[in-house]
Structure 1
Amino acid sequence: MAYWLSTIVLILSIYIAISIALYYLQDYMLFKPEKLPKDFQFNYDNQETKEYNLETRDGAVINGLRFFPKGESKGVVLYLKGNSKSIKGWGKFAVDFTRHGYNVLMVDYRGFGKSTGRRSQKAIKRDLQLVYNKLKEMTTEDRIILYGRSLGSGFAAKLASMNNPKLLILDAPYYSLTKVTARYAPFMPLSLLMKYPLPTYKWLKYVQCPIHIIHGTHDKLIPYKTSVKLSQINPKLTKLHTVIGGGHKNLNNFESYHNMLDDILNSESKILDLSTTSINVIHSSKKSKTKA
């Protein structure tokens, strides 16, 4: 066999081997779960909580935690977390919504915390729709807010596209998970390999409620320009909120982030009367001529 031919065969073999490894190992690379024993007791200072276990049709158990506000409730926020740890750690962010009078429901994806079951994109979407259906039994959809953080942003967008919540809030969202991973493996056929493509951009087209996107300008994992692109998909319903200097994991440390949440959660959506604005005024670039 000619040297050049053997070299091509070797390179092709390595490429195929890496592709196979990426396909079978992506669950371990993408998800960083923290597993909790069944008897683990959740405890948060100054937070009233209630634990739920929801059984799915394939026998899995989805564990969730509800946080209650002090006083009368304005509605419920279904908080879909990122790809690491469990709701044990994510629960500390519930206060950002309970302080505004909202219940917060956080759930662990399959294999996280106390949740069980074989994980897949289809299974997670089905689980979350089941959770959403349970919420609809407790309250009306105009009182449900979907909040998706990082990995959870894609699932939140999918839920919003299939239902009619009050609001959809995306925190550091991705265009698609395939696009994110392509930054680290640009020469791999990821469109064929990804078991979790999570095409947020496709699902946003069908969302009919107000969409709020929050992103930091210094996000190294999911660049800020991603949210700029997402905000252009359904522009009439979308508002982009920029956290200057914010990274991927520290938006809660910025006062501007909390001001944004305050505006989003406490402001009523208004229909703008464009006829009273300058929207149709043309800014001429020609220099005006003056007579002597």
Structure 2
Amino acid sequence: MAYWISTILTIVIVYIIISVALYYLQDYLLFKPEKLPKDFQFYYENQETEEYNMETRDGATLNGVLFKSKEKPRGVVLYLKGNSKSIKGWGKFAVDFTRHNFNVFMVDYRGFGKSTGKRSQKAIKRDLQVVYNKLKELIDEKYIILYGRSLGSGFAAKLASMNNPRMLILDAPYYSLTKVTARYMPFMPLSVLMKYPLPTYKWLRYVCCPIHIIHGTNDKLIPYKTSVKLSKVNPKLTKLHTVIGGGHKNLNNFESYHNMLDDILNKKPKEIDLQTTSINVIHSSKRKAKA
């Protein structure tokens, strides 16, 4: 009997140690920042850029780069990136929008690039609202497009739920970050431990603008079925775009991805008169009796 009690106590102690370690180490596991010196100069071939620094109410600095359209801009895309590197590398994706005559603004989260400050889910959400408000001072909100890539998809959904942008585009989004982590740690009490639960599905319920979800069928990190599930949260406003064979980090290498962006950014959805379609047609296998 003493042996079993000792074994159970050992398991409980190990479980508690792992839980505590997960709580305090998750920032290092989740975020893979690249820090840049204050005097670093951003340069992107064939792209005109302007760097900005914004101060937050708690004294942090948010560093961002505006990529300018070569022609009169049709609006601005607030691009919220993934969990690694800095906008030094992520800036290469701006061309996918400037080529359609949209300006693009990218910002580094706290602790990434030149941005400073103590990181938390609440702080990042507050920071991004500050950025959004700054954009609204420069351009009417109806010309702002929110684009969230991977980690940034949750924050983009939150911003869209609190504001009224032109549209929301989610690239390889997660249902919630707690769900993603649960795939690797199914026996841990993640609902209690996660400092960054990022419940995308909850925020999507309150989004009032068109929602476009782009996901690859070969995504090993965040399965494609996640976006199928998300598309059902706010179905009347959501359209799911599927990149056949696309993974988590390589959607930009697929021609279909760029065709999808072209459709999303340039083509206005047509109003359909459902009364002229087969939606209410009743099919019957029975023949009417002859008189």
TM range (shorter): over 0.9
Give the C-alpha shift of residue 289 in structure 1.
Answer: 9.1
Find the counterpart in structure 2 of residue 87 from structure 1.
Answer: 87
Measure, in 2, the Cα distance between the counterparts of 1:226 and 1:133: 30
Deviation at 1:23, TM superposition (A): 0.3
1:149 corresponds to 2:152: no
Task: Output the aligned Cα RMSD.
Answer: 1.3
TM-superposition CA deviations, 1:61-113 (whole Å, max 9, x none): 00000000111100000000000000000000000000000000000000000
Match of residue 54 from structure 2: 54
1:42 equivalent in alignment to 2:3: no
Q: 1:216 maps to which residue?
A: 216
How far apart in 2 are the matches of 1:196 and 1:271?
39
Identity of counterpart residues, as a percentage?
Answer: 82
**Structure 1 residues 3 and 107 mapped into 2: Cα distance closer, same or farther (>3 Å)?**
same
Give the C-alpha shift of residue 272 in structure 1.
2.6
Matches for 1:68-107 after TM superposition, within 5 Å: 68-107=68-107
Alignment partners' CA distance in 2, 1:9 and 1:116: 43
Instruction: Tell me the TM-score normalised to structure 1 length.
Output: 0.97
Trace 1:190-205 onto structure 2 (pairs within 5 A): 190-205=190-205
In structure 1, give the amino acid aligned to 2:212.
Answer: H
Superposed counterparts of 1:236-275, under 5 Å: 236-275=236-275
1:199-231 per-residue CA deviation (whole Å, 9 max, x = no partner) reads 000000000000000000000000000000000
- SS of aligned partner of 1:19: helix
Distance 1:190 1:118 in 2: 22
CA separation of 1:139 and 1:7: change in aligned 2, threshold 3 A: same
Q: Tell me how far 1:270 sits from its aligned partner.
A: 3.5
Match of 2:126 in 1: 126
Shift of 1:47: 0.3
- CA separation of 1:216 and 1:114: change in aligned 2, threshold 3 A: same
SS at match of 1:279: helix
- Structure-2 separation of matches of 1:111 and 1:168: 25
Cα drift, residue 278 of structure 1: 1.4
Q: Which residue of 1 aligns with 2:206?
A: 206
Check if 1:4 corresponds to 2:21: no
What do the CA deviations read for 1:175-221 (whole angstroms, capped 9, x no partner)?
00000000000000000000000000000000000000000000000
1:229 lines up with 2:229 in the alignment: yes
Secondary structure of the 1:168 match is: strand
SS at match of 1:26: helix
- Number of residue pairs the alignment of both structures matches: 290
| Unmatched tracts of structure 2, length 5 or more | none
CA offsets 1:245-284 (integer angstroms, 9 cap, x no match) = 0000000000000000000000123333222221112344
Q: Note the alpha carbon deviations across 1:154-194, whole angstroms, 9 max, x for none.
A: 00000000000001000000000000000000000000000
Shift in Å at residue 49 of structure 1?
0.1
Write the distance in 2 (CA, Å) between the matches of 1:83 and 1:287: 59
Report deviation, 1:20. 0.3
Cα distance in 2 for partners of 1:258, 1:13 equals 51
- Give 1:287 deviation, angstroms: 6.8
Aligned to 1:278: 278
Alignment partners' CA distance in 1, 2:158 and 2:280: 35
In the alignment, structure 1 segments of 5+ residues that lack a partner are none
Hey, what's the Cα distance between the residues in 1 that align with 2:96 and 2:283? 43
Give, in whole Å, the separation in 1 of the partners of 2:128 and 2:49: 20
CA distance in 1, matches of 2:272, 2:148: 27
